[in-house]
Amino acid sequence: MIETQLLSGTVVAAAVKEEVAARVVALAKRDKSVGLATVLVGEDPASEVYVRNKRRTAENLGIKSIHHQLPADTSQGEVDDLILRLNEDPAVNGILVQLPLPAGLDGERTVNLIDPTKDADGLHPSNLGKLILGRPGLTPCTPTGVMRILEHYGIEVTGRHAVVIGRSFLVGRPLALLFNQKGVDATVTMAHSRTPNLAAVARAADIVVAAVGVPKLVGPDFVKPGATVIDVGINRTDDGLVGDADFEALQGIAGAMTPVPKGVGPMTVAMLMHNTVTAAEAACSRGNRPSSPVVVER
Amino acid sequence: MIETQLLSGTVVAAAVKEEVAARVVALAKRDKSVGLATVLVGEDPASEVYVRNKRRTAENLGIKSIHHQLPADTSQGEVDDLILRLNEDPAVNGILVQLPLPAGLDGERTVNLIDPTKDADGLHPSNLGKLILGRPGLTPCTPTGVMRILEHYGIEVTGRHAVVIGRSFLVGRPLALLFNQKGVDATVTMAHSRTPNLAAVARAADIVVAAVGVPKLVGPDFVKPGATVIDVGINRTDDGLVGDADFEALQGIAGAMTPVPKGVGPMTVAMLMHNTVTAAEAACSRGNRPSSPVVVER
C-alpha cells in the first residue's frame, strides 16, 4: 500500500509569500515601493470577499493596496479611463480587475486594456501568447501555482507524462503550456469532458491534473498507482466544498495529492502577489517608465 | 493491407485560394480593395524567394501587393516607423514581416508592433493568446493549414486523439491548441524530442503530426495502422527534401498521409492569403477605421 503524500498549498503559498515579502523589502531598500491596484465594480458579495482577501494579503507582504470601488452602473468608458490611468501611474505595478463585471460591462475588453507589464493576473492575451512563444512574461496565477507546488515538493516533471483534464483559459490550457516549456520538458495530454475513455487516458499519466469542475470525477480508475494528483476543482456540493478528485478514495493509490480546500486554492493569491513584485522589479529595471504607446486591437 | 490515402496540400491550397479570390471579388463589389504589405529587410536569397512567392500569390488572387524593400543596414527605428505607418494605412489589411531580420534588428519587437488586426501571419502574441482564450483572431498559417487539410479530406478530428510532435510557436503549440478548441474537441498530446518512448506515445494516436525537424523520424513503429500522418517537416538532406515522416515506409500502414513536398508546405502561403482577406472583411465591418491607440508593451 502506498502512503499518499499530502501536497499542502497552504505550506507552499506561505513559502511564496515569504519570498515575495523579502523581494518587497529589497525593492524598498532601492526606494521603490510596490503597488497593487484592485478594481471592483458593483457589489457582488463573493467578489467583495475575494478582493478583500487579495488586499489584505498584499498589505501583509508590504505591497501597497490601491483599491478602486465603482458602482454597478459605471459606464464602460469610465472603466476604460480608470484602467488607462492606472497603466500610466508609476505607483501601480499590478492591476487586478475582479471578474465578472456587472451586466453591460465587457470584461474581456477591460482586461485587454491593461498594460501587459502590469497584468497581475497574467491573463492578458499578449501574456498568454508568450506561453506559446516560450518568452518570459507574467503567467496566469493558478497554473503557475500548480507548477510551484510540484517544484516545492520535488516532484519530477521533466520527462514525465502529465494529463491535464480541463481546457479553460484560466487553468487547463496555460498549465499544459507550462508543462510543455523547454527546461520543464514534460509530455502533456490536454484532455477534457469530451475525451473518450477519459479514465484510461488519465491512467497513463505520471501527473494527473483535474481542472474540469466535476465533483470527484477523478477516482481510482483514473490514477496509476503512485501518480501525483493535482486537484484544481472547487465544487460547492451538499457535502460542502469538494474537488474534482476523490481525495479519500485515492489515499493509498496516488503517490502524492493536493487536498481541497488548502490545496491549489491558496496558491492563486500567492502567485498574484508574486506577479506583482515581479512586475515591480521589471519596472524598476526599466527605470520606472511606463511602456510605450502602440496601436493594439481593442 | 491498407491503401494509404494521399492528402495533397496542393489540392487543398488551390481550394483555399479559390475561396479567397471569391471573397476578394465580393469585397471589390463593395468598393473595398484588399492589400497585403510585405516587408523585407536585407538581401537574404531564401527570404527573397519566399516574399516573391507570397507577392505573386497575392496578385493572382486580386490582393494588392504593397512591397517594402529595405537595406540591411536599416535601423530599428526606421523599421518601427514603417510598421506604425502600415498599421495606420487603410489600404493595408495584412502586414507580413519576412523573418529572420538581419543582425542588429529585433524580429520579436517588430512583430509585436504590428496591429493584431493586420497580423497576416497570426503570430502576434495577442493573436496567439486568443488560441488559449478560445476567442476568434487571426491564427498561425501553417497549423491552420493542417486543420484545413484534415477538414478538406473529411478526416474526423472530434473525439480523436492527436499527437503533435514538436513544440515550436510556429507549428506545434498553436496546432495543439487548434485541436483542443471547443467544437473541434480532439484530445491532444504535445510531445517533443525529449519525450521518452516517443514511438509508443505516437502509436496511441489517431492523428500523428510530425513538426520536429528530424528527417524520417516517424516510421512504422510510430504509427497505428490506419492512423493519419501529417508531415510538417521540410529537411534538406543529401537525398533532397525529406519530411519528418518516412513516406515510403508508411505506405500501407498510415490510413492517410501528406507528402513532402506538396503536403503542408503549400498551405502556409494559402492561409496567409486567407488571413489577409479575413482581416480585410473585418476592417470593412469596422468601417475601415484603424484600431484605437492603446498602451501595449514594446
Q: What are the catalytic residues of B? A: 54, 98, 121
- Neighbour-count burial for B183-198, b at 16+ CB within 10 Å, e otherwise: ebbbbbbbbbeebeeb
- Please check whether the two domains, A31-122+268-284 and A140-266, share a CATH topology: yes
Pick from A116, A161, A167: which is nearest to B296 by CB?
A116
C-alpha cell at A43: 457589489
Q: What is the pLDDT of residues B7-63, one digit of tens each?
A: 999 999 999 999 999 999 999 999 999 999 999 999 999 999 999 999 999 999 999
What is the model's pLDDT at position A288?
53
The pLDDT of A4-33, averaged and rounded, is 98
C-alpha cell at A231: 486537484
Give yes or no for residue B69 having a pLDDT over 50. Answer: yes
Give yes or no for residue A39 having a pLDDT over 50. Answer: yes
Pick from A125, A188, A201: which is nearest to B130 by CB?
A125
What is the model's pLDDT at position A272?
98
Window B:218-237, CB contacts with A under 8 Å: none
Does any CB of chain B come closer than 8 Å to the CB of residue A84? yes
Give yes or no for residue A296 having a pLDDT over 70. Answer: no
Q: Which residues are paired to B236 by β-bridges?
A: B241
Does any CB of chain A come closer than 8 Å to the CB of residue B33? no
With beta carbons under 8 A apart, name residues in chain B contacting A174: 132
Q: Where are the domains of chain B?
A: 31-122+268-284, 140-266
Report the topology of domain A140-266: Rossmann fold (3.40.50)
Work out the minimum CA distance from A108 to partner chain B, whole angstroms. 10
Closest of A28, A47, A16 to residue A142, by C-alpha? A16
Would you say B39 and B96 are in contact if contact means Cβ atoms under 8 Å apart? yes
Residue A225's contacts (CB-CB under 8 Å, 6 or more residues apart) are A2, A253, A255
Q: Count of CB contacts below 8 A, A vs B?
A: 167
A180, B174: Cβ pair inside 8 Å? Answer: no
Give yes or no for residue A264 having a pLDDT over 60. Answer: yes
Q: What is the pLDDT of residues B181-221, one digit of tens each?
A: 999 999 999 999 999 999 999 999 999 999 999 999 999 99
Confidence grade of residue B289 (pLDDT, cut at 50, 70, 90): low
Window A:144-163, CB contacts with B under 8 Å: 158-159, 161
What is the model's pLDDT at position A289?
53
Chain centre distance of CA A240: 23
Work out the minimum CA distance from B238 to partner chain A, whole angstroms. 30
Q: Are strands B228-231 and B256-257 parallel, antiparallel or unpaired?
A: parallel
Q: What is the CA radius of gyration of chain B?
A: 20
Please report, for residues A215, A241, B2, B278, the alpha-carbon distance to residue A238 in angstroms, rounded to integers and kept in the order given. Answer: 11, 8, 54, 49
What is the model's pLDDT at position A294?
42
Share of chain B above pLDDT 90, in %: 95
Work out the minimum CA distance from B78 to partner chain A, whole angstroms. 15
Q: With 0-12 CB in 10 A as exposed, 13-18 as middle and 19+ as buried, what is A16? A: buried
- CATH number of this structure's domain A31-122+268-284: 3.40.50.10860
Q: What is the pLDDT of residues A43-94, one digit of tens each?
A: 999 999 999 999 999 999 999 999 999 999 999 999 999 999 999 999 999 9
Work out the minimum CA distance from B172 to partner chain A, whole angstroms. 9
Exposure on the CB side of residue B161, measured as CA atoms within 13 A: 21
Would you say B121 and B169 are in contact if contact means Cβ atoms under 8 Å apart? no
Q: What is the pLDDT of residues B151-184, one digit of tens each?
A: 999 999 999 999 999 999 999 999 999 999 999 9
Give yes or no for residue A165 having a pLDDT over 50. Answer: yes
Does any CB of chain A come closer than 8 Å to the CB of residue B291? yes
What is the model's pLDDT at position A239?
87
Most B-contacting residue of A115, A142, A175, A187 (CB-CB within 10 A), to test interface: A187
Would you say A242 and A216 are in contact if contact means Cβ atoms under 8 Å apart? yes
SS3 B174: helix
Reported ipTM? 0.95
- CA dihedral over A75, A80, A83, A85, signed as positive or negative: negative
The pLDDT of A99-110, averaged and rounded, is 96
What residue type is A247 in one-letter code? F
With beta carbons under 8 A apart, name residues in chain B contacting A113: 294
B294, A113: Cβ pair inside 8 Å? Answer: yes
Count of C-beta atoms within a 10 Å radius of residue A29? 7
A133, B169: Cβ pair inside 8 Å? Answer: yes
CA–CA distance, A122 with A94 (Å, rounded to integer): 10
> pTM for the complete prediction?
0.95
Does any CB of chain B come closer than 8 Å to the CB of residue A28? no
CA–CA distance, A161 with A42 (Å, rounded to integer): 43
Work out the minimum CA distance from A195 to partner chain B, whole angstroms. 6
Confidence grade of residue A297 (pLDDT, cut at 50, 70, 90): very low
With beta carbons under 8 A apart, name residues in chain A contacting B87: 295
B190, A190: Cβ pair inside 8 Å? Answer: yes
Find out whether the peptide bond into B290 is cis, omega within 30 degrees of 0. no
By CA distance, what is A138's nearest residue in B?
B297
With beta carbons under 8 A apart, name residues in chain A contacting B291: 295-298
Pick from A187, A201, A290: which is nearest to B187 by CB?
A201
- Neighbour-count burial for B259-274, b at 16+ CB within 10 Å, e otherwise: bbeebbbbbbbbbbbb
Mean pLDDT over all residues of chain B? Answer: 95
Count of C-beta atoms within a 10 Å radius of residue A236? 9
Q: What are the catalytic residues of A? A: 54, 98, 121
B291, A296: Cβ pair inside 8 Å? Answer: yes
Chain centre distance of CA B30: 28
Q: Which residues are paired to B91 by β-bridges?
A: none
